[in-house]
Chains A and B, each alone.
Chain A
Amino acid sequence: MSVAIIDYGSGNLHSAAKAFERAAREHGLAPDIRVTSDADTVARAERIVLPGVGAFADCKRGLAAVDGMIDALNEAVIGKGRPFLGICVGMQLMASRGLEFETSEGLGWIAGDVVEIRPSDATLKIPHMGWNTIDVKQPHPLLAGIETGPQGLHAYFVHSYHLAAANLGQVIATTDYGGAITAMVGRDNMAGTQFHPEKSQRLGLKLISNFLSWAP
């Protein structure tokens, strides 16, 4: 099985690749995990991961600057129905639009805008940075075997914006930070996590291995 982790100049992909290798090994899988900026490799990959850190518009520009990449993503994910995982800004890019610093178009796969977090309690710090639990809104195969809810495992978050999905049926999980924040979205063969599975120890490695064996 081939897994493409898309390199478009955003952030550290080394640790993401290592987390995927480790999760695969622990679950007896032997996928071919590649960090790539080649659109053809992405179009052919059996599973696709879009990471991302930084600002939405910068990431979108970075992705658009890779020749043929957005077309390849649409072909593989929408056309061929290949399992897709967006992480952090990679998840936000699934939205219709991002409103960070400037308004820019996303991939348009999950209807909704990426908007600033505005906690009800003004003393709460932004970014929402650190470990938080997640509340499941729609059961999802990527969360199989993961303890969720207030007493569950923790996920590592670092973000100031979140995806406000237009269709609440596409919100898989939320987290609480002075109000509910979108933690995970998904539909069909695509899912996205606002938290960083590659930094979330037990919860993260389990989610990654679930993704590697996901058959949507």
Chain B
Amino acid sequence: MTLKARVIPCLDVKDGRVVKGVNFVDLVDAGDPVEAAKAYDAAGADELCFLDITASHEGRDTIFDVVRRTAEACFMPLTVGGGVRSVEDIRRLLIAGADKVSINTAAVKEPDFVRHAAKKFGSQCIVVSIDAKQVNAAGEPERFEIFTHGGRNATGIDAVEFARKVVELGAGELLVTSMDRDGTKAGYNIALTRAIADAVPVPVIASGGVGALEHMVEGIRDGHATAVLAASIFHFGTYTIHEAKEHMAAAGIAMRLDA
């Protein structure tokens, strides 16, 4: 097979600005998500992801302009998530130029929303974002639970069961974030990634916890993901996209190195 594993940088966007900035290249305006997107496009990223963390209602419309300007400049797939709660939210993002939208809290609260969205726009553009923590004690069978609100609120929902359910409802891809690893740089929760990837027929993106290039290899090789998402190691210039892809290729993973 020659389908390549994907490396996806993810930018947190708030009120139309990149949170924490991106300092790996000489950007005119490192706070402009479009400038950062262009730099990642040129660097050979396989897809881009924007996570809109805007809290205020007034600020929410800024993402549409960011997506529109990005789609004018970057000819690569773009996924947008954060605050996607209605069919109208999805429609506006797709019209602005997003290729896929990721649904998180709304899918947990109302799984049927996934079915409506997939029916209306096609499974290919509906990503369900699953935030989960490993909740079993050491020595017990592995158990993973969905958390919302940035990992603060437990839901009691089994992550693997939830993954199966949203795929049946029409999700075309799953973004699996290990909330117990997010920000730790200790690597993806491979047990979580693999449990979900092996349970569903659709592609899984591993997320949460990347601190080293080897973690990306583990996400694909051991976690059975087909794509890896990372934020800070790229934004802070620790590694370039190309270094990540070269490292993964050297570990025997088929990568796209021509970009």
Contacts and interface: CB of A to CB of B under 8 A. Distances in A.
B86 to A, nearest CB: 18
A39 interface: no
Contact of B122 (A55, A157, A198): A55
B3 A130 contact: yes
Contacts of B259: 154, 201-202
A12 B3 contact: no
B77 A199 contact: yes
Contact of A129 (B2, B75, B172): B172
21 contacts: A12-B96, A14-B68, A53-B125, A54-B122, A55-B122, A124-B3, A125-B201, A127-B203, A130-B6, A130-B227, A131-B6, A132-B2, A150-B2, A157-B3, A158-B77, A158-B172, A160-B124, A176-B1, A177-B3, A201-B41, A201-B75
B121 interface: yes
Question: Which secondary structure dominates where chain A touches chain B?
Answer: mixed
A200 B71 contact: no
B41 A158 contact: no
Contacts of A199: 75-77, 99
Nearest to A89: B122
B94 A11 contact: yes
A60 to B, nearest CB: 13
Interface stretch (A15-23, A72-80, A90-98, A163-171): A15-23
Contact of B124 (A15, A18, A54, A201): A54
B202 A126 contact: yes
B240 interface: no
B216 to A, nearest CB: 15
A159 interface: yes
Interface string A139-169: 0000000010010111011111000000000
Interface residues of B, number: 36
A193 interface: no
A11 B94 CA distance: 7
Nearest to A128: B3
Given A131-B3, A150-B2, A205 B75 contact: yes
B182 interface: no
A124 to B, nearest CB: 7
A131 B75 contact: no
Interface residues of A, number: 45
Contacts of B172: 127, 129, 158
Which among A11, A130, A147 has the greatest number of chain B C-beta atoms within 10 A?
A130
A201 B42 CA distance: 9
Interface of A: 11-12, 14-15, 18-19, 22, 53-55, 58, 119, 121, 124-133, 147, 150, 152-154, 156-160, 175-178, 196, 198-202, 204-205
Contacts of B256: 131, 154
B2 A175 contact: yes
Nearest to B121: A54
B173 interface: yes
A67 B6 CA distance: 41
Candidate in B3, B46, B201, B259 with the most chain A CB atoms within 10 angstroms: B3
Best-surrounded residue of B5, B122, B259 (most CB of chain A within 10 A): B122
Contacts of A178: 1
A177 to B, nearest CB: 6
Contacts of B46: 130-131
- Which of B2, B72, B96, B201 is packed against the most chain A CB atoms within 10 Å? B2
A125 B259 CA distance: 24
B1 A159 contact: no
Contact of B77 (A154, A156, A176, A205): A156
